[in-house]
Structure 1
Amino acid sequence: MFISPMLLETAVAPFSDSRYIFEPKIDGHRLIYSQDTGNVRLYTRHNNECTRQYPEINGSTGTLFPYDVLLDGEIACVDPLTGAVDFESVMSRFQAKRADKIRQLTKELPVTFVVFDILRYKGEDVRNLPLLERKAILARLSLPSANFGVIPYVEGAGEALFAQMQARNMEGVVAKRKDSVYVSRRHSAWQKVINWTYADVFITGYRKGDFGWLASVADDRGKLRPAGIIEFGATPTHKRAFYGVVKPLITGEDREFVRLEPRIRARVKIRNWTKAGMLRSPVFTEFIV
């Protein structure tokens, strides 16, 4: 059984409020866990089934809950060397399709299902209960294995928790109204505050079709290398300013991109750097003069 998840709005800045609880934001992918009459099905937030990708969660390598449940949470993978949540490892698990590859990655990159909400309990719909009542049900659950966990939270102290997330280089925090019911849409009762990292880049080209600026950064030898595509953050004013000055900077083009001399610099905010040295989810913030 799939239920569309409740989605987060974005808070302007970290905040503290006694009406809210605050949770660490886990850098993985959303998962709806459905156990119905002993059968487990796993779904992404977009209703794509991913049951077979996670044997340690789907019950095929362990026990089940003693009753039917429907849970909302995040699939996380922890780097064994650093202890940090590793988004790229989660994507490796999610994208694996062959049975032998799935078995191999289950041993090399085990995942944890971090549960933060319960939607059905013992066959009963509990979405209309206040959040803290649903949290109380979660706290009583007997988890099937060490691959399951329940997200911790604090009451009121959002700014202090965000400071901890910054110190640990984690993704950020999620603020949730204590009295919020669960609705299958984006809602202001749930908000996220992202722990952005900032980087300065050169814009070395632009996409001919849909908007996108090629970003490059200097390597260890001072030579520019590609670092990703900026697709978000630029306003119509920024775009007009950019396209008004780039014509003399054009050095060539291919089927998809127009290439530019590296004369225009910009600051972007990113989730983090990938292991390959690329900008993860870059968002334009300003031009650097």
Structure 2
Amino acid sequence: MLFTPVKPMLLTMGKEPTNHPEHLYDIKWDGWRILIHKQGNRIEAYTRHGNQVTNQFPELQEALSHINKHTAILDCEGVVLRNGNSVFEDFAYRGRLKSTEKIRKAMITHPVTFVAFDILATDKPLLKETLIKRKQYLKDIITPSNVLLATPYVIEDGQTLHTLTKEKGMEGIVEKPLNSLYHLDTRSPNWLKHKHFKRLDTVIMGYKENPFTMIVGSTFSNGKLKPVAQVEFGFNPEDKQAFRGIANRLITKEENGVFWLEPLLCCSTQYLEKTSKNMLRITSFKGFLPEKKVEECVFT
């Protein structure tokens, strides 16, 4: 398992968290899932898809001295923190860099922190240890620093943490049973992510098939209507049928598989966050807004 790509255990989308006395709750950080492998002075990092990304993050060399164990495999989220919040776009920028010189400069403008939330092994596998024991192992072997830290957690009081992270504009929280084991390459129905989604009233500007996708937009302060998202999820068959019946009469042109429409229809779009380029990230359809006027769908 050491220095070999492994597929980590994944989460399932939850609804509202409960205050379960046998559950553990920690912060849902927004970056890339990174597994750090360490043995002696050797350290390597892999994404959840098995890509080796060690050279893209020189911060790992500093992290070596903060792992107080000869051998360890840590399950982490790689993040760039801004005022205590993780910014996905900033970490994704770091992940795209290949040039040594650009990476060196980005270490100053986009410094990376690896937030560890689980441990798969030390000098022995820990997959069959309970989560609460693995959390203790993690706490014992990490010296917190700017490049590596173990995420804090609470037991039972998930609703308070959920409210706190929402107030601070964070992505959400994670809920797991204290006695849960670690199963590689598994999406667990008992490991839940509770995200803080938002909604925006948007204009349907176009659509495409295979897969069915709506292109939605908003009116900006300069009065222009611009696309803000391509929405693939949240539609049921009735939504699609009703939409196609109306959209066929509104098509203005077809271009590269996109049917552009006269902007007369509005819908509610759920999203996780807005990017610096004014696009919505992690979106889903939440219903038509037949009474909504296009000019009221403003990007706020």
- Per the TM superposition, whether the score is higher than 0.5 is yes
Q: Would you say the 8 A contact 2:66–2:142 is kept in 1?
A: no
In structure 2, what is the Cα distance between the partners aligned to 1:103 and 1:62?
18
Q: Would you say the 8 A contact 1:76–1:114 is kept in 2?
A: yes
Q: Would you say the 8 A contact 1:201–1:215 is kept in 2?
A: yes
| Structure 1 residue 13 displacement after superposition | 1.8
The alpha-carbon distance between structure 1 residues 62 and 181, as it changes in their structure 2 partners (threshold 3 A), is closer
The alpha-carbon distance between structure 1 residues 25 and 235, as it changes in their structure 2 partners (threshold 3 A), is same
Is 1:269 the equivalent of 2:253?
A: no
Q: Would you say the 8 A contact 1:62–1:145 is kept in 2?
A: no
> How many residue pairs are counted as aligned between the two chains?
285
| Structure 1 residue 83 displacement after superposition | 3.9
In structure 1, what is the Cα distance between the partners aligned to 2:22 and 2:209?
48
Q: Structure 1 residue aligned with 2:30, among 27, 31, 44?
A: 27
- Percent identical among aligned pairs is 31
Q: Structure 1 residue aligned with 2:12, among 9, 16, 33?
A: 9
Aligned match of 1:107: 108
- Worse-matched range after superposition: 192-201 or 7-16: 7-16
Secondary structure at the counterpart of residue 245 of structure 1: helix
In structure 2, what is the Cα distance between the partners aligned to 1:160 and 1:176?
16
Q: Which residues in structure 2 correspond to 1:13-162 (within 5 Å)?
A: 13-57=16-60, 59=61, 63=65, 65=67, 66-79=69-82, 82-121=83-122, 123-143=123-143, 145-162=145-162
Aligned match of 1:169: 169
- Worse-matched range after superposition: 129-138 or 63-72: 63-72
In structure 1, what is the Cα distance between the partners aligned to 2:263 and 2:110?
39
| Structure 1 residue 62 displacement after superposition | 6.2
In structure 1, what is the Cα distance between the partners aligned to 2:142 and 2:78?
19
The alpha-carbon distance between structure 1 residues 124 and 162, as it changes in their structure 2 partners (threshold 3 A), is same
Task: Report runs of 4+ in structure 1 exceeding 4 Å deviation.
Answer: none
Amino acid at match of 1:161: L
In structure 2, what is the Cα distance between the partners aligned to 1:135 and 1:83?
22
Q: Would you say the 8 A contact 2:142–2:150 is kept in 1?
A: no
In structure 2, what is the Cα distance between the partners aligned to 1:150 and 1:60?
15
**Residues 196-221 of structure 1: CA distance to partner in whole angstroms, max 9, x if unpaired?**
01111011101244321111101013
**Residues 119-168 of structure 1: CA distance to partner in whole angstroms, max 9, x if unpaired?**
111x2001100001111111111438531010000111111111001101
Is 1:197 the equivalent of 2:185?
A: no
**Residues 219-261 of structure 1: CA distance to partner in whole angstroms, max 9, x if unpaired?**
0133311112111111111111111111111111212311001
| Runs of 5+ consecutive residues of structure 2 not aligned to the other structure | 291-300
- Worse-matched range after superposition: 142-151 or 183-192: 142-151
**Residues 262-281 of structure 1: CA distance to partner in whole angstroms, max 9, x if unpaired?**
11111111011111111112
The alpha-carbon distance between structure 1 residues 169 and 29, as it changes in their structure 2 partners (threshold 3 A), is same
Aligned match of 2:187: 186
**Residues 57-94 of structure 1: CA distance to partner in whole angstroms, max 9, x if unpaired?**
2x168636341100001011012xx4432111100101
TM-score with structure 2 length normalisation? 0.91
Q: Which residues in structure 2 correspond to 1:226-241 (within 5 Å)?
A: 226-241=227-242
| Runs of 5+ consecutive residues of structure 1 not aligned to the other structure | none
TM-score with structure 1 length normalisation? 0.94
Q: Would you say the 8 A contact 1:38–1:68 is kept in 2?
A: no
